[in-house]
Amino acid sequence: MNIDQLVEHLKKQNLTEIERATGVRRQSIYALFQKHTMQLDTLNKLLHYLDLENSFERHVSTEEIYKNMRYYGAPINNKAEKSLSLEDTLASAIEISQADDFIASTIPYVIANNYSTLNLIKLFQECVKKDKVRLMGFYLNLACEFVPNNEAKTFLEMVSNMYKFNKQHWESATLKIPSPSIQSHYMQNPIALKWKVYSAGKLEDHIKRWHKWIQLRKTK
């Protein structure tokens, strides 16, 4: 269900009863009808009341992704704010990573610093929905280069074997190589080659960035 479908569904409901049961004022609902916007906590109240929490697909803005990545430890200057789970945050970051080099560079850092709470199966499910499994594998594999993790390595083997078995299914996640110079970097990154994902940096470039960020964190 998207926002348009939610609006149509709400128009069929008893708004007086919704206001009484949820505390969400009708003015807020009318604003949703007209502007298709609503505060997150208010929207969550409506979805809970309508029993639509698991069927509603809301748009996640780049700003929201940045704030959540900061909350989960990404070395960025944005204000930290938690409105998404760790898995939803990473999946959303992976989704925009092809167009946002900086957020792409922070994904393995956040993964490596959150192994203990990261639900790999849920992350996989979210990336399947977004058709970004290859990119997920690439970033998770990079995180394992930074901080080895046996559970993540076992999980990667499972996903890698699945990819080999269903090669055509994951083909749409492959990125195009824009130039011979970039291709030379790609060819020198064994993890990028494994997942057939374009990466502008060599493996050692990613590892150097990791150590730089770790040092910065220690000095704060």
Q: How many of the other CB atoms lie within 10 Å of CB of 32?
A: 19
Q: How many angstroms separate the Cα of 99 from the Cα of each of 75, 93, 139, 182?
A: 19, 10, 15, 16
Q: DSSP class of residue 171? A: G
Residue with tokens 């790609």: 186
Mean pLDDT, consecutive 10-residue stretches, the chain (220 aa), reads 78 92 91 78 82 69 94 90 93 90 91 95 88 90 94 90 55 47 65 77 83 77
User: Shortest CA distance to 108 belongs to which of 7, 205, 1?
Assistant: 205
Residue 84 DSSP class: S
The rounded radius of gyration (Å) of the Cα atoms in the chain is 20
Helix, strand, coil percentages, rounded to 5, for the chain: 70, 0, 30
Contact 109, 213 (CB under 8 A): yes
pTM: 0.69
The predicted structure's pLDDT at residue 1 = 58
Percent of all residues in the chain with a pLDDT value above 70, rounded to a whole number: 81
| Number of residues assigned to the chain | 220
Domain residue extents for the chain: 3-49, 62-219
Output the average pLDDT for the chain.
Answer: 82
Collapsed DSSP state (helix, strand, coil) of residue 79? coil
Q: Which residues contact 23 (CB under 8 A, 6 or more apart)?
A: 45
Tell me which residue of 44, 52, 139, 53 sits closest to 91, measured CA to CA: 139
